[in-house]
Amino acid sequence: MTTGRLRVLVAEDNPEILTLLGELLEIERCEVALCSDGASALTRITQEPFDLILSDISMPGVSGLEILDRSSAMTSGIPVVLISGQVDLDTALFALRHGAFDCLLKPFRLDDIRDLVRRVQGLHGLAENGAGERVAKQVGGNGHRPQEILIRKSRALQVIARSGKVFGETHDLGLLMGAILEMAMRGVGAEQGALLIASETKDRLRVASIRGFHDTVRSGDEVGSANELWRLAGLPSEVTPSVIPLTVKGRQIGGMALANRHSEGSFSMADHEMLDIVAQQASIALENLSLYATVESTVFEGMRALAAMLDAKDPYTEGHSLRVAWFAVQICQKMELGNEVEDLVRYAGAMHDIGKIGIPDAILRKEGRLTPEEYERMKEHPVVGWKILAPFSFLQEEAIAVRHHHEWMNGGGYPDGLKGEEAPLPARILSVADAYDAMTTARPYRMPRSHEATIEELRRYAGPQFDPELVDAFASLSPRDLRAPDTGPNHT
Ligand SMILES: [Fe+2]
Ligand SMILES: [Fe+2]
């Protein structure tokens, strides 16, 4: 760098970006060589000395990664900066790990280029006009050395890359909120953070997730503003907190409030850029989650409606599925099995006979006994039901419970002849609930059994057919507990 001017080679296949980069670098008084493809860039590198190589990552033919690879073999320590057209984080991380000096994300501004030029000048130990001290201070904009900047950037990229993955995999709103806050705090090293969601009336902010407040403010509390939050937390006045808005479908739903009480002033520009990206990813995840919840409830409702329609086809079974769901939930509550199992049997119960959809009405509504062939046909319904539900990722466990609701403890049931606990617990619960409802409901050929007589019958088959523990729990429920709300006329 004899003239004190950086000699920069730029490789970029988009002519407009190439020209723009050339102009920006010339404003920064660099000597610029422009190449519109990777192959000619490699040729120029072998012919002339450069202080900095700027290359697009994805170009037809020779890519930016190849230039990085080959130029580091040909030149010694010339910084290579890769340009990425999008937040392609895997590539960016790969590039940093393989020795790229930095990654520039499009669109870039003059400030990005100026910052880069200063850092490279600092790296070469030379500064324009001999103002070494000034340049050293400007390196990185925050007084950080290039290695520190790289480490910070790499950490930020890792946080961003990880947050995209974590957010995408989280289907629980509470967990998602916690993950968003944790990622944002980790990314900028914040000690205190809260995720605030606007209340329905929009005049208050509910604390959806919070960290580092030592109980001065808790999750679920409401505050009038982010300032009130910091007042309650006793944040020293010299610390400037940040609030990053969170939006869903273009509507601001709240924000993330972050502070670091041990560092005076505010977060850096780079921190804010990273937080913006985390907030964007969080917004997408929140949007997807609401979409997912909508799809999920639409499918649930559709399936329930289908099952109810099926029940309604036969006046003797009207309301059967919902009653089975209700009894199954009562068993869960009695045994304190927890919300998860309870929800599972509620949905699986409502859909347990959905496979009967494929059975002809003549068999389904037959008033006399079924012939052996008809009975075999009837026995297909758990598998047909499983086939209907299994394609939905969020109905996997329901599908399995539906498949096995006619298994027997002694292996004599169908469709798979599973023994004992080989049939999952929700299926065993449905089996007891199903039998109870069948027996207490009137049939064309018999009167409904009483509650007591039915319990006696369940006890008789506890062991070979039903799980005895579940029958015990069921038997301890009073007929009043078992009065299912509004499920049809035939319940006794
Ligand atoms: Fe069934
Ligand atoms: Fe049933």
316 CA from centroid of ligand 1 (Å) = 14
Interior angle at CA 123, CA 74 and CA 50, nearest 5: 35
149 CA from centroid of ligand 2 (Å) = 64
Which is more confidently placed, 437 or 281? 437
- Residue extents of the structural domains in the chain: 7-145, 157-288, 314-475
440 CA from centroid of ligand 2 (Å) = 12
CATH tag, 314-475: 1.10.3210.10
The span from the CA of 355 to the CA of 385, in Å, is 4
Top-level CATH class of 157-288? alpha beta
Instruction: Give tens-digit pLDDT for 475-489.
Output: 999 888 888 666 544
Q: Identical fold at 157-288 and 314-475?
A: no
Instruction: Give tens-digit pLDDT for 309-328.
Output: 777 776 667 789 989 999 99
320 CA from centroid of ligand 2 (Å) = 7
**Which helix H or strand E contains 198, and what residues bound it?**
strand 192-198
Establish how many alpha carbons lie within 13 A of residue 176's alpha carbon, considering only the half-sphere containing its beta carbon. 21
Instruction: Give percent above pLDDT 90 in the chain.
Output: 27
Around Cβ 451, how many Cβ atoms within 10 Å?
Answer: 17
Average the pLDDT over 206-219 and give the result. 85
Q: Please tell me the number of the ligand nearest to residue 414's CA.
A: 1
Tell me the β-bridge partners of 251: 248
Return the pLDDT at 134.
Answer: 31
> Which of 21-30, 57-66, 380-389, 480-489 is the least confident region?
480-489
The span from the CA of 77 to the CA of 72, in Å, is 7
Domain 7-145 has CATH 3.40.50.2300: yes
228 CA from centroid of ligand 1 (Å) = 57
pLDDT mean across residues, the chain: 80
**Which helix H or strand E contains 211, and what residues bound it?**
strand 205-211
Q: Please tell me the number of the ligand nearest to residue 311's CA.
A: 2
Return the pLDDT at 491.
Answer: 40
Return the pLDDT at 11.
Answer: 94
381 CA from centroid of ligand 1 (Å) = 7
352 CA from centroid of ligand 1 (Å) = 6
474 CA from centroid of ligand 1 (Å) = 19
252 CA from centroid of ligand 2 (Å) = 47
The answer to whether 464 and 409 are in contact (CB under 8 A) is yes
Residues with CB under 5 A from ligand 2 (ion): 353, 434
Q: Which two tokens stand for residue 274?
A: 């990273």
Residue 361 has pLDDT above 50, yes or no: yes
Nearest by Cα to 377 from 395, 364, 366, 389: 364
